[in-house]
Each structure stands twice: as C-alpha cells, then as structure tokens.
Amino acid sequence: MPQPKLESQWFSLRTRIVLGFAAIYLIWGSTYLGIRYAVETIPPLLMMGMRHFVAGALVYCWVRRRGTPAPDLKQWGYAVITGVFLFLGGHGVLAWAELRVPSGLAALLSATLPLWTVVLSRLDGSERKLGVRAWAGLLLGFAGVALLIGPIAFGQRVSLLAAAAVLSSALLWAVGTSYTRAVRMPASTALSAAMQMISGGTLLLIASLLAGESSPVHVASITARSVLCLAYLTVFGSIIAFTVYIWLLTVSSPSRISTYAYVNPVVAVLLGWAVAGEGLGVRTLVATAIILAGVGLVSTRRKQAATVEEGRSPIPIEACEAAGD
C-alpha cells in the first residue's frame, strides 16, 4: 500500500520552497534600501552594531535551547576574528558608505563579492588555475564596475571614496569568508553564524563608541523610519531570511540557492528607483547587465560549486547582506 506524502498542514513542500526563495530574493534585495534609511538618523556603526548583536543573541539563544552544544573558547576567538572582517570591516564600511552613495549603487558594487572570492582563492592557492570562464567573468565584472562608477550615478552625485569603500567592504567580506573556511567553527551553521554576529555586533558597538558616534545622537532626532528600518533589518534581514536560507540548504540544490546573488542586486536597484527616486540611466542599466554577467560566469565556473561561492559565510549580507547585507 503506497504511503501518503508527508506535507505541511498549510502548504506543500514545493509551495514552501517557492515562498522561501521569494523571501531571500525580496528581503535581502531590500536590505540596501533599509540600510540607507536606517543611517539617515542613526549613526552607521551604531546601527549595524545593534542590528547584528541583537540578531546574533536571539539566534544563539534559540540554537542553544534546541540542544546544540556550547562552543569552546577557541571557536569564540575564531568568531571574533571573522567578525572583524565580515561585520566591522564589511558591514560597518558599507553602512558608512550608504550615507554617501545610492542604495542601488551599493548593491551592485557589493555584488562583486564572488569576483573578489575568486581572486583570493587564486592568491591563497585554493584554486590553482583559473579557466577561461573565470577570467572572462572577472574582466566583465570589473569592467562593469568601471563603467558604473562616475561623478553621477543613479541620478545622484556620488562620492568616489564612498564607492571605493563599498568595493572594499565586499573585499573584506571575501577575506573573512576565506578565513572562516580555514578554521574549525561549530558544526551547526546557525550557531556559527550567531557567534559571528554577536562578535561582529560587539566590535561595531565598540567602534561606534570610540568614533564618538553616541555623543551627537539625540533620541528625539531619530526618525520613525530609521527605527522601523533597523527593526526590519534585524528581524527580517538577519533572523527570518537567514533561517529560511539555512532551511533551503536542506531542501534545494545549492546552485539554485546561489541565484539570489543575481536577483538581490536587481531587486535593490528597482526598489531604489521606485521608492527612493534613484535614477536609472542607460549607462547604469548597461553596467548592471555587465556586472551580473561577470558574476554569473564566475559563479558557474565549476560544476561542483555546491555552495554559495563555496563556503561563503551563512550570514546574508546584505550582498550580496551582500549577504543580502
């Protein structure tokens, strides 16, 4: 006698997978605009520090209550070093830059993360030889960046220093990812991610204090929009989308999941245009297509690329949080 299919009381597995992809596509794609609005009245390092510390603490408590063993002191040390690159350097710099560049531009420049990952893998010897597809992707991707960056982008005057900062944040995220692959973090990806968020959030809060961000902050001057965006980034961007992402890794193929790297920048650009009035010119659209084509070539350079850029930290990034960031 055939066994009945075990499905959710409310949704079939296929429906839940579709909703899961919609979540990581739309939520992570929207985080760039969320960051832009959050840093309008909340200092960038303080905002990112609160976001990641709260999200990390909640995920950590949830994972530990489910019976996951506590990490050891050495693993916390690894998490702190990772937090320096991924969150203090990656997200902290990104948040600072979004005070000065459009959210769509930040999303597209952050989409170069797979390009930096390939460059680093070649430098550290983990990938001994780059094929034609990889070289073509690198050339296309960085050519698109060169076309995109200019005094005017998305209809706004752009700080070239801030644009360079966004590129450096993607590079720092790639460095942190490379380091994470080289150390022994907990087997639970959720626990590992929570530790990195807690460590990174703490470092961001310390950096905010040292930078004197708290002195000019007046609670009355913080707008409701900034507070709501911070809450959105914490709950939806870091907790919900992250949980959905981890679940998708167990029910779908990594190659399908990695498609968020191409969709998120498009969602971010369209949201910036529709909601924030960020202009879309011919140069911007052509550069977008070139960058995404380069990322696509690099990401599909090997059939066995079974993880998002092979071992990328499970934190959304706004990314791509870069990570979805």
Q: What angle do CA 37, 41, 47 make, to 5 degrees?
A: 75
CA atoms within 13 A on the CB side of 155: 11
Q: 317: alpha, beta or left, given left = phi > 0 and alpha = psi -120 to 50?
A: left
Q: Are 272 and 154 in contact (CB under 8 A)?
A: yes
The answer to whether residue 7 sits within a structural domain is no
Q: Is residue 153 part of a domain?
A: yes
Residues of the chain with pLDDT under 70: 1-11, 216-217, 254-255, 258, 301-325
CB 142 within 8 A of CB 115: yes
| pLDDT single digits (tens) 89-99 | 999 999 999 99
Tell me if 220 is assigned to some domain.
yes
Residue type, 223: T
DSSP E strands in 31-139: the ranges are none
Q: Is residue 12 part of a domain?
A: no
The share of the chain scoring above pLDDT 70, in percent, equals 87
Joined tokens for residue 239: 């907790």
Structural domain boundaries, residue 49: 17-299
In a domain, 187, yes or no: yes
Q: What are 229-257's pLDDT values in tens digits?
A: 999 999 999 899 878 887 887 787 766 77
Does any domain span residue 3? no
Task: Output the pLDDT for position 324.
Answer: 52
Over the range 27-40, which residues count as b (16 or more CB within 10 Å of their CB) and which as e?
Answer: bbbbbbbbbbbbbe
- What's the whole-model pTM score? 0.83
Number of domains observed in the structure of the chain? 1
3-class secondary-structure state, position 252: coil
Residue 307: predicted pLDDT: 42
Note whether residue 312 is domain-resident: no
Average pLDDT of every residue of the chain? 84
SS3 content of the chain, % helix, strand, coil (to 5): 70, 0, 30
Three-class SS of residue 157? Answer: strand
User: 256, exposed or middle or buried, with CB in 10 Å at 0-12, 13-18, 19+?
Assistant: exposed
> Would 149 be classed as within a structural domain?
yes
Amino acid at 212: G
